[in-house]
Structure 1
Amino acid sequence: MNKNIRMAAAFAVVSATHPLVAAATQINTERYDTVIEFDHHIAGVKPEMLDWWWNNIRTEERFVDWNPDSHLAYELEVPPADPDSLKLATGTVQNISEYIGGFTIDSQVTWGTPFNTAAGQHQLVAEIALEGLRDLSLPGNAWLIYDYAPDATLDGSDLSATLALPGVFQVAYPGLTETLKEDLRTELSNLSDFLPEMFQTEFIEETLEARGTYRVEKNGFWLRTVIVDQEIKGLTPDMMNWWWDNIDSTYRYQRWHPTAHLSFEWLEAPESPNNTTYSVGAVQKVVEYLGPYKNSLLITWLPKEDAAERVEYEHWLYAQTDLAGLNGIMPQDMIHEYQLNSAGDGIVMRSTFNVPFFLNWVMPGFTDELGKHALQEMQMLQYFLPELFAEQTLDSVSQ
């Protein structure tokens, strides 16, 4: 596709919804004399980490540390409405100062409305008002669009960048476009040095774990029971009922928990997955981290009626879990039960895990890590499952 046509389509969608643009018809991409495009790979940074970062730059210290060679100053003029989210906070306004190619560039950056919103699409849309230049030409603002997705290994991100600059930019900053392109590449590469750890600490552990509670109880001599209670916004019981048979791939499994889930495969695939009743007898093999402990698990869907006397909520999944190396020896079980919350804008969920007591001997703190993990992974579902479920055409509706 011709780049002007592609940019025109993008700007038409952005402009129709962005509060700072008067009318989409006023944007003519032919007026943008400079359109910079490039592809870039970001090692070790998953798309969800980028989604979080845009809303959590927050301070001048973080902004400067992001790229010390060019970042000078940062002010958050309009904070993100919901920084503890993986949805781009449209309308966030940041005043920034950068030193690039011998020029000090002051600008106001506003997060626009993403227009790639299908399940699995990740996008940053930013309108950049260049200080002192916005009134000198029409259009006077620049636009930056990042589209990104998991790389082939699912360990990093492949990103496509488009930067459209007004004609006056070349006059005010002659010869800067190539330097600007390399500066953007440096910004993106630098994220590998700090963002994965920051995302794990601030979002996975601090934010997601705070949305529920867990407790560990003694269950006879051999077992310990981990009970996790939480509320998950944006989900419905039907979404959860469908999800169990449709995890399907390592890609989806990693989206469920970007920093702890490693791989997924069906050893016995569900017989009829495209509905809202899970398939008894389906068996999956997963590899994941529970805190510092890497485990390979076999998980088998069991008849739900066998757990009917153990649940309080209207919907549930019942399963047997085995450590792959201890298959059939001291098998464990789990129940995820849930129903619509009182406000009707999400679900309440209780997860119950029965595990052998000796796991805390060989993996100290195992039951605590299990409780934390259940909070983390279930809270992640709200950021992709609604869109994924909306794209499905179900064979039937039951349960």
Structure 2
Amino acid sequence: MAVMTAHTFAWRTPLLACATALGSLLLTATLPGPLGSSAHAQTTTSALTVPLAGVRPEALSWWWDNIDAALLKAANSEVLAFEWLQRPASPQHLGYSAGARQRQTVLLQGQNRQVDITYLDPVLVRTHVASDNFLGSKPYSFVAQQVSIDGGQAFTVLVQYKAQGKQFTDTSASITVLGSAPALAAPYVAHLGKTLSGLKASVMGALDQRYFNGVLKGRGFYTIGKVDKQLNVTLNVTQEIKGITPDMLSWWWDHIGNTERYKLWQPIDHVSFEWSVPPTTPDMRYDIGAVQKVKENIGKTLMTLNITGADPAVKAPPVPLDDPGYFYALANPTLLDGLLPDNQLVHQWKPNPTGDGVILRSTFKNTALARVINSTFFEDLGNHALREFQMLPYFLPRLYRREALGE
């Protein structure tokens, strides 16, 4: 279903440029503000911009904490070996874990080099990145690394990234070295750029299978009912979503907004979003009569739907509305809207017992004819609900805190 407003990224533009094989290598530009405890201004000694067609930013957010030797070597044949010296604390949540340490053996300038990488506290680069990175649990648009090659002088590498393209299917990554840097810093930047570019062949597939399917789908369950007398099937999905509040979910429905935000919700399954009828008063409760026109993949079936906010007092929902928060809508394929009985959906939520998330119960009542188009439609729909709602902690807290609370 939905996703986020245009992000503001604090990208710094270096002043002098020269070409490299992978992009524009930028030299000697000044960035204001201290890094860590240093009192003097930090300088950008080298930087590189890498376009990643067909790669979403979420793939990089996943990548930092889930690097392994196979993926790394497939992306860049110059990587000869890889190991974690200190594993990431929370690899199953998008964004990097400060304090994680890794070691790579890399062919750099014709020699095998030992590269030690430590993920830095995000606060150390706070003045150089988008401020809303600090409104969520982990950074979403950058990674900050301390790098040492063959035990030599350590230097700081900052990688920032943001969605690109008409449908926000691509990513632009910027690699910057902050502060003073040894001679091998620029070759390392080129090497890292080659690695990121090499991810295009595999990282989205790894994100899909290892994270969305391997992790998120396991955080809830669904049950499929029998075909009733009206030829409808009821699907029930139950999941616990940690890291969001009931208010965040109440706010979300009227503030999905556009395709950019919609793809944050599910970067692979979601294709596009627009308001056919926008909310008249966007607030903390969904707008009855507002119509979302969405295009999304349910399994391998691409569907375009009109999702219309419904009034439970006018059209009875498929289940009692027992929880304090709910969203009730009619969800019909655009080509058949009005020709068949309405498909209904209800999302209901309440605080979880531990107070650090919500319990979400979703009910879908759809025509059994959907199985004519896709024999596993209801199984795919259940998995789709798990894949999208478990993404909310990645982006919704920072959106809500910035836009609703003004933080």
TM bucket (normalised to shorter chain) is: 0.7 to 0.9
- The alignment yields a C-alpha RMSD, in angstroms, of 2.3
2:203 equivalent to 1:195: yes
Q: Quick check: 2:74–2:198 contact (8 Å CA) kept in 1?
A: no
Moved more, 119-128 or 234-243: 119-128
SS at match of 1:255: helix
Query: Relative to structure 1, is the Cα distance of residues 198 and 2 closer, same or farther in structure 2, using a 3 angstrom cutoff?
Result: closer
Distance 1:296 1:394 in 2: 33
Per the alignment, residue 21 of structure 1 pairs with none
Tell me the CA shift for residue 291 of structure 1: 0.7
The Cα shift of 1:216 comes to 0.3
**Deviation at residue 219 of structure 1 after TM alignment:** 4.8
1:129 paired with 2:160, answer no
Tell me how far apart the structure 1 counterparts of residues 216 and 198 of structure 2 sit (CA, whole Å): 25
Q: Is the 8 A contact 1:304 1:316 kept in 2?
A: no
Identify if the C-alpha distance between structure 1 residues 227 and 180 changes in structure 2 by more than 3 Å, giving closer, same or farther: same
Using structure 2 for the length normalisation, give the TM-score.
Answer: 0.84
Aligned to 1:255: 264
Number of residue pairs aligned between Structure 1 and Structure 2: 366
Q: Would the aligned equivalents of 1:304 and 1:317 in 2 still touch at CA under 8 Å?
A: no
Q: Does 1:237 align with 2:246?
A: yes
Query: Matched residues in 2 for 1:180 and 1:256: separation?
Result: 34
Q: Is the 8 A contact 1:121 1:149 kept in 2?
A: no
Alpha-carbon separation, structure 1, partners of 2:368 and 2:319:
24
The answer to whether the aligner puts 1:96 opposite 2:110 as a matched pair is no
The alignment status of 1:142 with 2:143, answered yes or no, reads no
Letter in 2 for 1:145: L
Q: What's the secondary structure of 1:383's corresponding residue? A: helix
Asked if 1 retains the 8 angstrom alpha-carbon contact of 2:75 and 2:196, the reply is no
Looking at structure 1, the residues matched to 307 and 100 of structure 2 have their Cα atoms a distance apart, in angstroms, of 43
Q: Distance in 2 between matches of 1:310 and 1:224?
A: 17
Name the structure 1 match of 2:193. 185
1:166 deviation in Å?
Answer: 4.6
Gaps of 5+ in 2: 1-11, 15-27, 134-138
Structure 1 position 131, deviation (Å): 2.8
Structure 2 counterpart of 1:237, one-letter code = P
Superposition TM-score, scaled by structure 1 size: 0.86
- Residue in 1 aligned with 2:169? 155
User: Aligned partner of 2:343: which letter?
Assistant: Q
Cα offset, 1:325, TM superposition: 1.2
Moved over 6 A (4+): none
Residue in 2 that maps onto 1:118 = 132
CA distance in 2 between counterparts of 1:118 and 1:234 reads: 16
Check the 8 A contact 2:239/2:360 in 1, yes or no: yes
Partner of 2:278: 269
Tell me the alpha carbon deviations over residues 327-365 of structure 1, each in whole angstroms, 9 at most, x when there is no partner: 011210000000011111000000000001121122110
Larger % of helix: which? Answer: 1
Aligned to 1:136: none
One-letter code aligned to 2:341: M
Please report how far the alpha carbon of residue 393 of structure 1 lies from its aligned counterpart in structure 2 after TM superposition.
3.8
**Higher RCO, 1 or 2 (CA under 8 Å, sep at least 6)?**
2
Partner residue in 1 for 2:7: none
Kindly indicate whether residue 321 of structure 2 is the aligned counterpart of residue 302 of structure 1. no
Alpha carbons of structure 1 residues 304 and 238: separation in structure 2 relative to 1, 3 Å: farther
Task: Output one character per residue of 1:141-161: Cα deviation in whole Å (capped at 9) or x when no partner.
Answer: 111111110003211101221
